[in-house]
Amino acid sequence: MLPRMRRVALLGATGSIGRQAIEVVAAHPDLELCALQSGSTSLEALAAEHRVQHVQVGGDAVGLLERSEPDVVLNAVVGFAGVGATLWALEHGVTLALANKESLVAAGELAIRARRRGEGLLLPVDSEHSALWQCLEGRDPETVAGLVLTASGGPFRGRSRAELTDATAADALAHPTWNMGPKITVDSATLANKGLELIEAHWLFALPYQRIEVVVHPTSVVHALARFRDGALLAHVGLPDMRVPISYALTYPDRAATPVPQLDLVGLDLSFEAPDLDAFPLLALARACGERGGTAPCAFNAANEVAVEAFLAARIGFLEIAAIVEETLSRVDGAAARDLDDLMAADAEARRLAARGLQPA
């Protein structure tokens, strides 16, 4: 049981995470929805069904958050559009359950500074980061040697670069282990998603990039591992089902029951392999952007969003996604953002450059 009713503002309510979050909230007597936001989908029926007073379609989430006075903001918006809500929650010390990794990637430094001022909780919903948070909680940071993020490898695991030339959006959307929105599914196919997660882990757990590894683990049952200085590793293991990390973030520090079945350990495939950085160059590029710092990760994210949208619309091929991001990164200055205005300018400039890369030569 939670000490009292917890009011949840759900941003990205109509998406894959949003729908699963509604299920989690509906099943818990001490959680209630106080606000809903979508990008363009109507929220009328959802709001009526769940008796939610504050709703907003599109636009800036800040007004909605101020009106609805949530205890927790669950940011499940896709893309850079989630950045305002992330910064608002952190600045105001309102607990932030964060699925929208792009906001932390783009605004990492601003977000960490806002959290320091707001002194609120930043609880990861991304399954790997939720796993790491649980492996690390209560540990002395001095004892942590490194972090390991696992990647399913996506639908194209094992294919060479040459074999990816003709990969279509339909091929990329057929993810082997997770059922997610289209943007993150394509990001999983290119491994850009793991690159975004690498940067997200850097900001969440304050570790340098060289101490964060990525390994491919096709069955997705080991969500992440933490390495300790004595040689021990702690792993977080379970069925790949986002209701588990959503529920943990919304009911923390309690651990509410979920309808997710227990994992059968007999015959479990726990194999790991190195990622193929030649076929999937966006992972190494994200690491380089993280190390470069400033607004390089913001530009990486923006160019990737533009390229993924073009790929989903069949305007470019699969391999062009990485080519556009790389080209964009070679043209931006990557200077650090002092505030949200600087960040929005860096995001807009990277989008402009990436869009230029979409034009036929």
* Cβ distance to ligand NAP smaller for residue 15 or 281: 15
Q: Does 353 bind ligand NAP (CB under 6 A)?
A: no
User: Residue with the closest Cβ to ligand NAP?
Assistant: 15
String of contacts with ligand NAP for each residue 301-340, x by CB under 6 A: ----------------------------------------
Helix (H, G, I), strand (E, B) or coil at 31: strand
Q: Distance between CA 316 and CA 131 in Å, rounded?
A: 35
Output the smallest distance, CB 137 to ligand NAP, in A.
Answer: 20
Answer for which of 102, 200, 305, 309 binds ligand NAP (CB under 6 A) is 102
- Token pair in block for residue 228: 């300790």
* Sole window of 15-23, 44-52, 204-212, 323-331 interacting with ligand NAP (rule: CB under 6 A): 15-23
* Residues facing 189 on adjacent strands: none
Answer for which of 6, 8, 15, 153 binds ligand NAP (CB under 6 A) is 15
CA angle 240, 243, 249 (to 5 degrees): 115
Answer for which of 2, 39, 91, 235 binds ligand NAP (CB under 6 A) is 39
* CA distances, 49 to each of 44, 52, 70 (Å): 9, 8, 19
Q: Does 96 bind ligand NAP (CB under 6 A)?
A: no
* Cβ distance to ligand NAP smaller for residue 14 or 152: 14
Helix residue ranges per DSSP H, 142-181: 169-172
The amino acid sitting at 58 is G
Answer for which of 181, 238, 294, 334 binds ligand NAP (CB under 6 A) is 181
Answer for which of 25, 33, 37, 87 binds ligand NAP (CB under 6 A) is 37
Q: Distance between CA 233 and CA 231 in Å, rounded?
A: 7
Non-local CB neighbours of 341 within 8 Å, separated by 6+ positions: none
Neighbour count for residue 219 (Cβ, 10 Å): 15
Output the smallest distance, CB 112 to ligand NAP, in A.
Answer: 18
Give helix 192-205 / helix 296-312 axis angle, nearest 10°.
Answer: 150
Answer for which of 40, 210, 262, 359 binds ligand NAP (CB under 6 A) is 40
Answer for which of 72, 83, 144, 180 binds ligand NAP (CB under 6 A) is 180
The amino acid sitting at 313 is A
Q: Does 168 bind ligand NAP (CB under 6 A)?
A: no
Output the smallest distance, CB 157 to ligand NAP, in A.
Answer: 18
* Sole window of 142-150, 177-185, 278-286, 306-314 interacting with ligand NAP (rule: CB under 6 A): 177-185
Q: Does 68 bind ligand NAP (CB under 6 A)?
A: no
Q: Does 126 bind ligand NAP (CB under 6 A)?
A: yes
* Sole window of 6-14, 86-94, 136-144, 343-351 interacting with ligand NAP (rule: CB under 6 A): 6-14
CA angle 132, 135, 136 (to 5 degrees): 85
Q: Does 118 bind ligand NAP (CB under 6 A)?
A: no
Output the smallest distance, CB 348 to ligand NAP, in A.
Answer: 14
* Residues facing 236 on adjacent strands: 224
Please list every residue from 225 through 284 that binds ligand NAP, using CB under 6 A.
242
DSSP 59-70: S-SHHHHHHH--
Cis check: omega of the bond before 253, within 30 degrees of 0: yes
Q: Does 14 bind ligand NAP (CB under 6 A)?
A: yes
Sign of CA dihedral 241, 242, 243, 246: positive
The count of residues interacting with ligand NAP (CB under 6 A) is: 28
Cα(first)–Cα(last) distance of the chain, in Å?
A: 60
- Token pair in block for residue 352: 């402009």
- Scored b (16 or more CB within 10 A) or e, 42-66 reads ebeebbeebebebbbeeeebeebbe
Q: Does 197 bind ligand NAP (CB under 6 A)?
A: no
The residues binding ligand NAP (CB under 6 A) are 12-18, 37-41, 58, 76-78, 81, 99-102, 126, 178, 180-181, 183-184, 242
